[in-house]
Chain A
Amino acid sequence: MDYSPLVISIKASLISSVIVFVLGVTAAWGVTAMRRGRFIFDTLFSLPMVLPPTVTGFFLLIIFGKNSFAGELLSRMGISVVFTLKGAVIAAAVVSFPIMYTTARGAFDQVSRLYSDAAKNLGMSGISTFLRVILPNASHGIIGGLMLSFARAMGEFGATIMIAGNIPRRTQTMSVAVYTAMQSGNRELAFRWVLIILTISFVSIISVRLWNESLRRKSR
């Protein structure tokens, strides 16, 4: 059995999780600290959560395709996104971003409602408040969100197949491999992938739950 889809899935999910962590936390804090217009950004950033992944993939193709401005710019720099691992990373990042964003946003909101007024009153600067008060107290929620977005990235199918395609050993992820195996009538292979995916999903969900449980015990 060729295990390259497992490696590709993990690679794409790990890289996308790092990207999503940085972008999601930054965006969440930016919006939490805003005085006006939160509603617009909340809607915009959560949109990929409700869009069908194929629609997300469609937009990604338009944005990064050869005929677009971004696509042309990238191809001049020698970077191609469509039908590469980069495409798979971007697809995974876009669909898991809303999960990271909303959990971080919720954690920041709660912590900041409780403590940022006091911090301001004590004369703490915005950056110091964020680094010493908000971020440490929101870290549990943020890490939970990171685990969930990693799991979501692992399971991504629709947007991935549209932008990264289904090239064995290069862009074929596990969820795509299941589909391909079924299509070609190889039920046994499909079944094996399903077992692997089930195990990974099970472990990630259990770790999120255990994490939340430890959080609850600590806050008591």
Chain B
Amino acid sequence: MKIYVDIFKRLGDFELDVSFETENEVFGILGKSGCGKSLTLRCIAGIETPDRGVIAIDGRVLFDSSRGIDIRPQKRRTGYLFQDNSLFPNMTVAQNIAVSPTGKKHCDEYIERFFLRGLENLYPHELSAGQKQRAALARLLASEPDMLMLDEPFSSLDKELRDKLEDRIAETIDDFEGSVIFVSHDIGEVYRLTERIAVMHDGRIAECADKDKLFASPETTVAARLTGCSNISSVSFGERGASADDWGIVLVNVPEESCRYVGCRPRDLELCGENDTGALECEVIRVTEDMLSYRVVLRPKECGGKSSSSTLIYETDKLSWPYGRGDRVFIRPDKNKLFYMVR
């Protein structure tokens, strides 16, 4: 089961220029709202038409502008779970599930599988948000899609329900014999549910990698930020070697001359003594207490003689943070966990 996408579409000022391949895996697309994630899915589903490019599933060409192929959306079998689940309000749960050409014969099976027994004669407005989502999933799978596309399926739900539904979606994904594309702005969701992640920014895929690789050492600042790392400094090369401009520290073992930024996750900073190598004197700007951890905003005291305007975020478990606002601390990044980015 292989999905091949290489498309270009212009919409006003916005340009979508995306290409990726995914085979027998759960593929995540991570990006801020308006970056083109949903538009990409809509092009695959055939609801939007790309200006040019190719879309193919398992060698079955759905769209090819150079050959004039554009399969109707009804014939594409690209199961698309819409953000707002879009159950038809004039039909009961059972009627909704039976609405696709193959729906009737699977209706009973999916009512059972998605725990909708007893709810099959209710209308969507009589269901809870969770039940609606289950009914929408049942309806989608009863249409026998070749692939699944899940578009921010949790965006409109509260936390508790979200966790429950995430389990249900994870189960559905596990049972599904085909490729799955999962789209979200939330790194947590994407990380938990997918295997490989494409980071999308401004209509383009900035980076595409296995999820642990992407989290441990992203190659772009866009990916670093979207995966929750805001500690990013530009890198310059001088007589003393490479240094992180915004933090005023010398970097050793910089992998290649082409790297322009360095990043460090909030968890990979450590407190240290004043005379330790690489120690950076900081002022505590703000301490935010979370349920299990502290999130601390730090400002480096000086870097290279100038006072610095950039801040560092440090995260630590609750037990180990004795300092308050205005205190001086010394901190250094874990050398082995710094990552370098080319753009």
Where the two chains meet, the residues of A that have a C-beta atom closer than 8 Å to any C-beta of B are 114-115, 117-125, 132-133, 136-137, 219
Contact = CB atoms under 8 A, between A and B. Distances in A.
A83 B74 CA distance: 52
Interface in B70-109: 72-80, 82, 84, 86, 88-91, 99-103
Nearest to B142: A122
Contacts of B45: 117, 120-121
A122 B82 CA distance: 12
A122 B89 contact: no
A132 B101 CA distance: 13
A122 B99 contact: yes
Contact of A122 (B46, B72, B125, B140): B140
Given A122-B143, A123-B74, A123-B101, A117 B47 contact: yes
B90 A120 contact: no
Given A121-B45, A123-B77, A123-B101, A114 B86 contact: yes
B143 A120 contact: no
Given A122-B140, A123-B143, A133 B82 contact: no
B37 interface: no
B299 interface: no
A118 B82 contact: yes
Contacts of A123: 74-75, 77, 100-102, 143
B139 interface: yes
Contacts of A125: 74
A136 to B, nearest CB: 4
B89 A137 contact: yes
Nearest to B85: A118
Given A120-B47, A122-B140, A123-B101, 12 more contacts: A114-B84, A114-B86, A115-B86, A118-B82, A118-B88, A119-B88, A122-B103, A122-B143, A123-B143, A132-B88, A137-B88, A137-B89
A137 B88 CA distance: 8
Contacts of A133: 88, 90
Contacts, number: 59
A132 B79 CA distance: 20
A125 B82 CA distance: 19
A166 B9 CA distance: 60
Q: Specify the main secondary structure of chain A where it touches its partner.
A: helix
Interface string B44-64: 011100000000000000000
Given A117-B82, A118-B82, A132-B99, A124 B74 contact: yes
Report, nearest first, the 9 A-B pairs whose CB atoms are least far apart.
Answer: A120-B73, A118-B86, A122-B100, A136-B90, A121-B80, A122-B143, A123-B74, A117-B47, A123-B100
Contacts of B90: 133, 136-137
B133 to A, nearest CB: 14
Contacts of A115: 86, 88
Contacts of B76: 121
Greatest chain B CB density within 10 A among A114, A121, A125, A136 is at A121
Greatest chain B CB density within 10 A among A120, A122, A219 is at A122
B79 A121 contact: yes
Given A114-B86, A133-B88, A124 B99 contact: yes
Greatest chain A CB density within 10 A among B45, B82, B84, B88 is at B88
A117 B79 CA distance: 11
A124 B100 contact: yes
A129 to B, nearest CB: 9
A133 B72 CA distance: 19
A121 B47 contact: yes
B124 to A, nearest CB: 11
